[in-house]
Each structure stands twice: as C-alpha cells, then as structure tokens.
C-alpha cells in the first residue's frame, strides 16, 4: 500500500520496505495469524483497548501468546498514529508465527507482532451510505464453530469471506450474506447484520461467528436509546417481514442494506438514528 509510511514491528520503527517476514512463516502457510481492524477519528483510535485485548484473546484461541500486553499494544498504536499525524484513518495490528518450523504443531515458533496505520476516509461513497448495499446469498456457509475458532479474528478464518464475496460479486451484488450450518442467517463477509422490525432490532446470536466490537457498540447504543434488541436465529424466509436492515463493522461502520437477494428495503428512521448515534460516539470517543 502506497500510503503506509511507517510500521511498528516487534518493538522497532521501520519503513514499509524494511518491515518484512520470511516466506516460510508458519502464519503464511497455515493461517496461524490474528489481526484487528481499527478506525481513527480525530486522531484517536476508537475502542483501542477492546481491539488490543481481542488481538491477545484471538491469539490464545489459536494456541499462542503475544509477547506484548494490552497497554504496550495501546502505547505503540497511539505513538504510530501520532508519528504519522493521522486524523482519519485505519489501523491494522497483526500477529503471526514465524519460520522456526513448518510442522503442524508449531511448538517452537516465535510470535511476530506488527502494527500499520494509514489515512483512510470513508470506504463507501455518499450514495451507497444513503441508499445502502446490495447483498446476495453466498453458496459458501460460515464455518461451523466446531471446525474453526469463530470467536477469534484469525487470518485463516477469512478465506471463507474471500470466497463468499468473490461468489456474489460475480452475480452483481456488493456484499455476501452467509448462512450458518443450519441455514440461519449469520453475517456478511466482514460485518455483522441487524434487522429492523418496527421499533426494535433483531440480530443473529453471535455464537457462530465473530461478535464484532461494532456490533457490541450498536447494542450499547440501542440500550442507551431504549431500543429493544432481540438476539435469535433468523431464517432467510423471514427477511421479507422486516422493515429494514443494516451491516456494522469497523470498516463499514453502520451501513444500510438496500437489497438482500430479490428483496428490497427502504432505510427506516430507526436505522438512521443508529447511524447518527454511532457517528457521534466515534467522534466523541469511547473511553
């Protein structure tokens, strides 16, 4: 990426060209890597502590420990953002197992940790943010929770997302909607989904996919606004009865959905209310 100028790698400050890893790294070959996506608003990283903690927790689910604490990760992240003078942008911490061994059981491999950041305005144009995304059902289902650590933000888990979005983009959709192993609605490729039903929100139970930090933030906002949130299994046949829907994630923020398969939505007032409150919270800060 051309606009990445400086990277923190294992406690050192390096130019992008010097921040490299071995092609025989275990994380590259077998997916033993974890990462985060974090947004910068007014020079501050939104919910930084929670992201750093999840990076550590995700690594533990894959069987390795990060050599840095939450406070150390937070400090490095803040210093990186300050050094680069980023006001609106994105942070990508990543940790992976090195090239000590390519055995399936990486008992001797060391852990590398890097943090990158870059200027990044809105991911979507104003028309998309106003009207919403077009979602198509993917032929790929979300991983079974007994087949992969779905609560971890692990690099290997996202091959599933790459395949799903490739599938639906070829059919003219913007994003993919994945079902779980029982045929219930799960989430999009990198964002959680909420439906609007009257004056309440309905969302899948987050035990078969990543319980996103933005998802948790939306539920917090709903509680603050006395909006009921129902968490349950949702069948695709139910989509037609809802009044609206939106995706939420660090990259997507809160984004309306215009189409799911053959069904079209308008954007209800409740969705706009959640979007406005989320943007206000991001600017004001969480901590």
What the block records as the tokens of 221 is 């906002």
C-alpha to C-alpha distance for 222 and 216, rounded to whole angstroms: 10
| Active-site residue, from 131, 153, 171, 200 | 153
Amino acid 257: pLDDT:
98
Which residues of 54-203 form beta strands (DSSP E)? 88-97, 111-119, 133-137, 175-179, 185-188, 192-197, 200-203
Which are the contacts of 259, defined by CB distance < 8 A and separation ≥ 6?
132, 133, 134, 135, 173, 265
Whole-angstrom distance, CA of residue 8 vs CA of residue 76 = 7
Between CA 89 and CA 94, with CA 92 as vertex, the angle to 5 degrees is 175
Q: Which residues pair with 39 in a beta bridge?
A: 90
CA 76/CA 62 separation, integer angstroms? 23
Pick the range with the lowest mean pLDDT from 44-48, 74-78, 195-199, 282-286: 282-286
**Contact in structure between 6 and 15 (CB atoms under 8 Å):** yes
Question: Is there a contact between 57 and 93 (Cβ–Cβ < 8 Å)?
Answer: no
pTM for the whole structure: 0.96
CB-count exposure of residue 245 (10 Å: 0-12, 13-18, 19+): buried
In this prediction, residue 1 has a pLDDT band, given cuts at 50, 70 and 90, of low
The per-residue DSSP string of 55-72 comes to: HHHHHHHTT---SS-HHH
Least confident of 37-41, 51-55, 120-124: 120-124
The answer to whether residue 200 is catalytic is no
Which residue carries 């210093």 as its tokens?
Answer: 79
What pLDDT does 181 receive?
Answer: 98
Tell me, what DSSP letter sits at residue 141?
A: P
Structure tokens at 176: 């993919």
Give SS3 for 131: helix
| Residues 120, 9: Cα–Cα separation, whole Å | 21
DSSP letter at 135? E
Does residue 93 carry a pLDDT above 70? yes
Retrieve residue 150's tokens. 């779905």
Radius of gyration (Cα) for the chain, nearest Å?
Answer: 19
Rounded to whole angstroms, the Cα distance separating 226 from 229 reads 9
Tell me, what's the pLDDT at 125?
A: 85
Measured CA angle at 153 (ends 260, 108), to 5 deg: 150
Tokens describing residue 114: 């890097």
pLDDT band (50, 70, 90) for residue 68: very high
Which H helix or E strand runs over 235?
Answer: none
Q: Is 18 helix (H, G, I), strand (E, B) or coil?
A: helix
β-strand pairing of 38-41 with 33-35: unpaired
Q: Bridge-partner residues for 150, per DSSP?
A: none
Confidence of residue 4 (pLDDT cuts 50, 70, 90): confident
């Amino acid at each position: 990426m051309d606009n990445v100028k400086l990277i923190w790698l294992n406690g050192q400050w390096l130019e992008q060209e010097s921040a490299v890893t071995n092609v025989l790294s275990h994380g590259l070959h077998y997916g033993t890597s974890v990462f985060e996506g974090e947004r910068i608003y007014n020079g501050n990283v939104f919910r930084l502590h929670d992201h750093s903690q999840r990076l550590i927790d995700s690594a533990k689910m894959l069987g390795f420990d990060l050599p840095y604490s939450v406070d150390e990760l937070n400090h490095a992240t803040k210093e990186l953002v300050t050094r680069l003078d980023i006001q609106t942008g994105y942070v990508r911490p990543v940790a992976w197992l090195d090239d000590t061994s390519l055995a399936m059981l990486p008992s001797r491999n060391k852990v590398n940790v890097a943090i990158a950041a870059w200027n990044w305005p809105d991911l979507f144009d104003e028309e998309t943010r106003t009207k919403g995304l077009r979602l198509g059902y993917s032929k790929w289902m979300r991983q079974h929770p007994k087949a992969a650590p779905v609560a971890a933000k692990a690099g290997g888990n996202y091959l599933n997302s790459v395949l799903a979005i490739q599938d639906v983009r070829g059919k003219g959709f913007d994003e993919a909607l994945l079902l779980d192993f029982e045929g219930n609605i799960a989430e999009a490729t990198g964002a959680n989904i909420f439906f609007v039903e009257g004056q309440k929100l309905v969302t899948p139970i987050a035990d078969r996919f990543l319980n996103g930090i933005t998802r948790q933030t939306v539920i917090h906002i709903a509680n603050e606004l006395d909006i009921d949130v129902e968490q349950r299994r949702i069948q695709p046949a139910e989509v037609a009865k809802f009044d609206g829907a939106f995706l939420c994630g660090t990259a997507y923020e809160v984004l309306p959905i215009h189409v799911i398969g053959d069904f079209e939505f308008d954007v209800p007032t409740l969705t706009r209310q959640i979007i406005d409150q989320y943007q206000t919270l991001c600017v004001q800060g969480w901590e």
